[in-house]
Amino acid sequence: MAITRIILWLGNTFVLCAILLLGTAFFAAITLEAMPAIQFATIAAAIGVLGVLLIATTYNTPARETNADALVFLLLFWITVPLIAALPYLSLGVSGSLTSAYFEAASAFTTTGASALNADDLPRTLLLWRALLQGFGGVCVATFAVVILASLNLAGTGIHRSLLFTLKKGELFERLIGIGRVVAGIYVFLACICFIAMVITGTPTFEALTLSLSAISTGGLTPQSGPLASYIGPISAFVLGIFCLLGAMNIAIIWDLLRLRRLRNITILLGNYEHRGLFVIIGLLSLFGILYVGASHAFTLIIESIYFVSTAGFDYNVIGIEMLPPVILIAIALIGGSALSTAGGVKIIRMLLLFRHLATDMSRLTHPSRVVPVFFKGQHIPDRAFLSIWMYFFGYTLVFGLGIMALGATGLIFEDAVAVSAASLSNMGPLLLYVLPESGATYSEFTDVQKLISALFMLIGRVEVLAVLILFTPSFWRQ
């Protein structure tokens, strides 16, 4: 295993974190928050020096790595960054323990949106910090997905072919940097448009900034407690919904649309199978909501349906889709958004392919000797291509069950354990408040053990389940 290469990548990760910390310290200085400015600047200096030392000691290492090396780095990356990001929570005294601080940082970085803290009690610097963490996490999610699929020579079934995959060839780290710049550029561009549109439609500047970063990353953390309707208008809420949807869409398709610079090519964005699936789920969820709550709350139901399906999970008003049966909301949260997006969940493309394969198998039951090929998007899909998808679905279900057992063992009742396991694994923290509004269960009441388990499953949801399960196979470590 190329240990020195992994250390080199971690060194660059530390430097990136130091830059984010330094930028937040600069914001604190401008807004005259002296203590946060000093704390963030000190942490940035320490992390930056450590990162430079790691880079300097491994800079001349041979540029060779295996898939196992990449997987180890991927896991260390998702574990280490929240640990660094937790330091400001500790230094400012808003979290009483390292576990609580790690839970908050992991929730922001994995774009889960769960928090045990009251946003109204936090300094603006920390609110900006967790908004930046969401944006950074969203970029990392999409970048790793693109690089991993590219390293597999685009073997993923049903994946949209894009020039984004062939942006730069070479070693893994070089691809991470090259593709990461493009992904970051796209999301920053979209976040800026969202910010400008929200300010124009009457949202205060700071709230518009943090909500824009949260929307495009489908993070769900807000700068104020309570429903969005208490501090943003309906037009701003609609704008926010549009960018939540863009965050839940395939980044490769968005890149192709921006690259072609032709408005007529927006049909590619809207006509994609996964994106049409998003619209169908939003429509069905809105319809169910109107049947349960009434047409008088139609606007709230539609807006909250968009937020929910994108896995951002913003709460727009007091009465909304939380009135629906919990089983429907949990199922939608576990499905998630598009592949190569910041949304969590199993992903719509996998569900579409599984249902297509299931329909074919049902047809074969009536005619066992009949040859029924499976077609998707006009392409013939061999049966062996579905093996990895079924394995992922099985692994996801297994980990979901393990999460319920682990949380139940800590004292949570079954309903709460199911909701928290689903919220953590699907990276949709607000799900807990949506499905159990009468149980009284909130993240602020969790013990350190419960927060640690929740944070662990947030990370598993982001790393991809099979990537974690493979660590328990002896053949991986024999490499």
pLDDT band at 322 (very low <50, low <70, confident <90, very high): confident
pLDDT band at 154 (very low <50, low <70, confident <90, very high): very low
Average pLDDT of the chain?
Answer: 85
Range with the poorest average pLDDT among 12-16, 245-249, 317-321: 317-321
Segment 63-79, tens digit of pLDDT: 666 667 777 888 889 99
Segment 358-369, tens digit of pLDDT: 767 676 666 666
In the predicted structure, residue 22 carries a pLDDT above the cut 90:
yes
436 residue type, one letter: L
Virtual torsion, Cα 278, 280, 282, 287, nearest 10 deg: -170
pLDDT at 152: 45
CB 462 within 8 A of CB 113: no
pLDDT at 157: 43
0.85 surpassed by pTM: yes
Residue pointed to by tokens 């920053």: 188
More confident site: 271 or 116: 116
CB 110 within 8 A of CB 137: yes
Q: How far apart are CA 243 and CA 254, in angstroms?
A: 12
In the predicted structure, residue 163 carries a pLDDT above the cut 80:
no
In the predicted structure, residue 160 carries a pLDDT above the cut 50:
no
In the predicted structure, residue 339 carries a pLDDT above the cut 90:
no
pLDDT band at 103 (very low <50, low <70, confident <90, very high): very high
pLDDT band at 153 (very low <50, low <70, confident <90, very high): very low
* Tokens matching residue 394: 């099985």
Q: How far apart are CA 24 and CA 448, in angstroms?
A: 27
In the predicted structure, residue 243 carries a pLDDT above the cut 70:
yes
pLDDT at 367: 64
pLDDT band at 259 (very low <50, low <70, confident <90, very high): confident
More confident site: 442 or 189: 189
Segment 377-412, tens digit of pLDDT: 666 666 666 777 788 888 889 999 999 999 999 989
pLDDT band at 204 (very low <50, low <70, confident <90, very high): very high
pLDDT at 195: 97
Q: What is the DSSP string of 234-280?
A: HHHHHHHHHHHHHHTS-HHHHHHHHHHT-GGGHHHHHHSHHHHHHHH
CB 380 within 8 A of CB 374: yes
Q: What is the DSSP string of 26-41?
A: HHHHHTT-HHHHHHHH
* Tokens matching residue 21: 């910390």
In the predicted structure, residue 86 carries a pLDDT above the cut 90:
yes
Angle value at C-alpha 113, between 112 and 119, nearest 5 degrees: 160
